[in-house]
Amino acid sequence: PPAPMPSPVYSTPAPVSPGTSFITQPQFAPAPAPMPAPAFTEPTFVPPQPVAAPEQVVAPAFEETESLMGVAQQANPFEQYALGQKYLIGDGVPQDFVAAGMLIQLAAENGNPEAQYSLAELCTRGQGVPQNYAESIVWFHKAAEQDHVGAQFTLATKYELGEGVPQDYAAAGRWYQRAADRNNAAAQYALGCLYQKGQGVVQDQVTAARWFLQSANQGNVSAQHKLGVCYQHGHGIAQDYGKAAQCFHAAANQGHLESKFLLAQLLRQGLGVERDVNQAYSLYRTVADNGHAGAQFFTGYCYEFGEGVAQDFAEATGWYRLAADQNEPNAQFRLGFCTEFGRGVLQSHQAAVAWYRKAADAGHAEAQGRLGRCIDRGLGTLQDFAEAAKYFRMAGQQGIAEAQARLAQYCDLGLGVAQDQQEAVKWYRLSAEAGIADSQARLGQFYEAGQVVPQDYAEAVKWYSKAAEQAHLDSQFRLGNCHELGRGVAQDYVEAYKWYNLVGAFGYQRAVEARDKVMRLMSPWQITEGQKRASEAYKLVRQKLAAGKEASDKLKEVLGKK
């Protein structure tokens, strides 16, 4: 093998002239605040300039009695290579791989870089010459050292993958760099990938994005996709959903499935483009038909919720099943939910638990919470508080408020776990801050009693008030008591009367007794004012309860459509 070359000096890609393609040279600065989404426009490209065809080479004529090699020896390396190519493809002569191999090797030994590259390919395939991977690397090196771009790119690929040579990302980077500097789009893309992953080079997202840009502007579909992802997430480049959509659209037009899927995501959410659920569904369906699990899930989602297509629960569960069978956690969760409530499929708690478990074990937070709930209640599986606590904890750690609230109750009561009210307060607080009324109420009780936490009536009133706003009757009663006794708030019999009277209207006898007691301490005007406030509060509570019932009825109606 030839002596190793000195490592070429890395250079950053030359900037692209403004206006040369659909993607402009990015400003590599910290991402600014998101701008209003631009209207989606068809990207335009600058077509590549035609390259003049090489001068036609005519193979030297020779008599049948003369040997082929005799004629070849009289030719120059370019003619030797051209004649070898004719025999290789059968152009004007009978196809003969052996003759092609001899002629191309002769030209290669005489220094022709095209012949050296071609001979390396023949050695790799064992076509006309003995198959010899080590020999192919030698000839790739010789051609690459003469700045044959194809050889430089191929040699880089060999080093990256460890094909015929020990895997060496640094060597791969050097050869990709040389080819990229000569504007080879595939090498520019591959070099960008090395910088993105930090393989053989210092990881640098900015440089990676620049190389993706160079390659994308030459129409490299993989680079267009990668650049779109960079714009989408702000990796090495200012986040810009509009440009991300343009990149994905360009790659999608070349048949890139993942770009079609990501473009559908932007269209569905209206990020960088005008929201269009119909077009999003169309793209999801196209990609789903090619077996893409994520697209199958979103196709099912569109059918379940009627986004861009008529609502059809049976169709939804069919697509969920396809994706779930490919271990797509979102699909497994939705399929479990539909199965639990008989939505498009036969209702089965046992089957629902099986799907929830698959998704939960893959880390799906909602599935973990739902599985914990089924185990907690013994739905489709044996009731097991310890196992339920395990899944509630998993879901709670991922921010599922309902799971946090139930885990808090487990810790509070010692249900399935060792009783630990300090731990309970932690989970009550998390779920209370997320708006769970029962947790707000219990947290208020801890502060009022000074249990586990320092006694703080004002903090208790704060949490009781939050729960009371959600029509939590016990918190409303306790809030009335705080106003009666002046705990955490100024003593106010009118406000106390309001809360007692309100709760009493819902059949809470203890509140009625408390109202009658405080009423004896009030003037007629105060009683009238208290009744007025209670009436206004009652209307608000009834509205909240009615809204909740309406939502519940709608859910039951939806779940009843199978």
Please give the Cα distance from 528 to 543 (Å, whole number).
Answer: 23
pLDDT band at 4 (very low <50, low <70, confident <90, very high): very low
* Maximum Cα interatomic distance, the chain, rounded to a whole number of Å: 133
pLDDT of residue 133: 92
Q: Angle at Cα 108 formed by Cα 105 and Cα 109, nearest 5°?
A: 90
Residues listed for the chain: 562
| Confidence band for 178, pLDDT divided at 50, 70 and 90 | very high
More confident residue, 59 or 7: 59
Looking at every residue in the chain, the average pLDDT score rounds to: 87
Burial 373-403 (b: 16+ CB within 10 A, else e): bbbbeeebbeeebebbbbbbbbbbeeebbbb
- Identify residue 245 by its one-letter amino acid code: A
Which of 39-48, 286-295, 433-442, 547-556 has the weakest average pLDDT? 39-48
23-59: pLDDT as tens digits: 333 333 333 333 333 333 333 333 334 434 444 444 4
Tell me which residue of 303, 306, 295, 305 sits closest to 330, measured CA to CA. 295
Question: What is the C-alpha separation between 479 and 498, in angstroms, rounded?
Answer: 10
Q: What is the dihedral of CA 419, 421, 423, 427, to 10 degrees?
A: 110
Query: For residue 392, what are the contacts with CB-CB under 8 A and spacing of at least 6?
Result: 368, 369, 372, 376, 403, 404, 406, 407, 410
pTM of the model: 0.79
Half-sphere exposure of 338 (CA within 13 A, CB side): 28
Question: What average pLDDT does the segment 250-272 reach?
Answer: 98
Asked whether 259 and 224 are in contact (CB, 8 A), the reply is: yes
Q: How many CB atoms lie within 10 A of CB 561?
A: 11
- Contacts of residue 153, defined as CB under 8 A and 6 or more positions apart, other chains included, come to 175, 176, 179, 184, 186, 187, 190
Model pLDDT for residues 103-150, shown as the tens digit of each residue: 999 999 999 999 999 999 999 999 999 999 999 999 999 999 999 999
Query: Residue 250 burial by CB count (10 A; 0-12/13-18/19+): exposed, middle or buried?
Result: buried
Q: Are 301 and 292 in contact (CB under 8 A)?
A: no
Please state the separation of Cα 29 from the chain's center in Å: 23
Q: What is the predicted pLDDT for the residue at 16?
A: 36
∠ CA 526-529-534 to the nearest 5 degrees? 120
Q: How confident is the model at residue 65 (pLDDT cuts 50, 70, 90)?
A: very low
pLDDT average, residue stretch 431-448: 98
What pLDDT does 219 receive?
Answer: 97
